[in-house]
């Protein structure tokens, strides 16, 4: 990250954090991956039940490894043969970790989901939700955040999962109704009714898609 982008990101993050505060959510800014990981760990009590919705950003900052190595009850969905059982455990977890497909510069989070386990847990269930969001995900309004989610995040995730959708061939959203579509549910988080439930760690890095 160049010093110019670092300065820009530090300034822009303050605007996002202010917007989050106005929406009853708490924002933080981390200068890099290690700082983001340590910040996330400081928000998770020892012994807490923790699970996640499959975000690349969470892996990229080393948080999954730290949780597995630490004194936490980490629900590793990949280790469960019964995926449905693992997903249902998330609703009663102490902490749910997620990345975001996009966030506006005034603090609105945008997420798209296929199975909807991630967006449903963000909306309701886990006592605390901690987002890890690279500054590459910040957009100027909801319209551009939706466009980013559909034209950047979703087509990249389709490649990641090897799915057969129009965007897998074009790289851009074709608004499909393919059986493989991962764009089934859209969640716009514009306010948290419950104070101290949603925490967003903005990271001075390009993370995820
Ligand atoms: S709606 Fe279909 S084409 Fe558009 S991003 Fe989602 S999966 Fe791809």
pLDDT in tens, 14-70: 999 999 999 999 999 999 999 999 999 999 999 999 999 878 999 999 999 999 999
pLDDT tens string 162-207 = 999 999 999 999 999 999 999 999 999 999 999 999 999 999 999 9
Beta carbon of 167 within 6 Å of any ligand 1 atom: yes
Q: Which residues pair with 29 in a beta bridge?
A: 202
Helices (H), strands (E): how many in the chain?
A: 9, 10
DSSP state of 149: I
Q: Length of the chain, please?
A: 209
pLDDT tens string 86-103 = 889 999 999 999 999 999
pLDDT band for position 79 (cuts 50, 70, 90): confident
Strand pairing category for 102-104 and 109-113 = antiparallel
> What is the CATH code of the structural domain delimited by 3-139+185-203?
3.40.50.10420
- Closest by CA to 52, choosing from 61, 12, 183, 38, is 61
- Closest by CA to 27, choosing from 45, 41, 39, 44, is 39
Which of 147, 156, 167 maximizes ligand 1 atoms within 8 Å of its Cβ, making it the mutation to test the pocket?
A: 167
Structure pTM? 0.96
Domain ranges of the chain: 3-139+185-203
Residue 8 in 3-state DSSP? Answer: helix
Atom 4 in ligand 1: residue holding the nearest Cα:
173
- Closest by CA to 27, choosing from 206, 188, 201, 197, is 201
Beta carbon of 133 within 6 Å of any ligand 1 atom: no
In contact, 209 and 156? CB cutoff 8 Å: yes
Token pair of 112 as six digits: 């798209």
Per DSSP (E only), the strands in the chain are 26-30, 49-52, 73-74, 95-98, 102-104, 109-113, 128-134, 138-139, 185-189, 198-203
Identify the residue with better confidence: 83 or 31.
31
Beta carbon of 117 within 6 Å of any ligand 1 atom: no
């Amino acid at each position: 990250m160049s010093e110019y982008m670092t300065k820009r990101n530090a300034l822009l993050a303050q605007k996002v954090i202010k917007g989050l505060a106005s929406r009853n959510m708490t924002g933080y800014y981390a200068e890099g991956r290690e700082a983001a990981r340590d910040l996330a760990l400081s928000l998770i009590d020892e012994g807490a039940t923790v699970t996640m919705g499959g975000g690349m950003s969470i892996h990229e900052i080393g948080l999954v490894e730290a949780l597995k190595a630490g004194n936490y009850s980490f629900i590793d969905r990949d280790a469960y043969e019964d995926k449905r059982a693992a997903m249902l455990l998330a609703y009663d977890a102490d902490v749910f970790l997620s990345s975001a497909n996009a966030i506006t510069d005034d603090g609105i989070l945008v997420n798209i989901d296929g199975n909807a386990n991630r967006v449903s847990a963000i909306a309701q269930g886990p006592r605390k939700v901690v987002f890890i969001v690279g500054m590459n995900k910040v957009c100027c309004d909801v319209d551009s955040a939706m466009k980013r989610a559909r034209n950047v995040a979703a087509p990249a995730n389709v490649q990641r999962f090897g799915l057969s959708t129009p965007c897998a061939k074009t790289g851009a959203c074709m608004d499909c109704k393919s059986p493989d579509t991962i764009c089934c549910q859209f969640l716009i988080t514009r306010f948290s009714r419950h104070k101290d439930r949603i925490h967003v760690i903005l990271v001075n890095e390009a993370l995820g898609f």
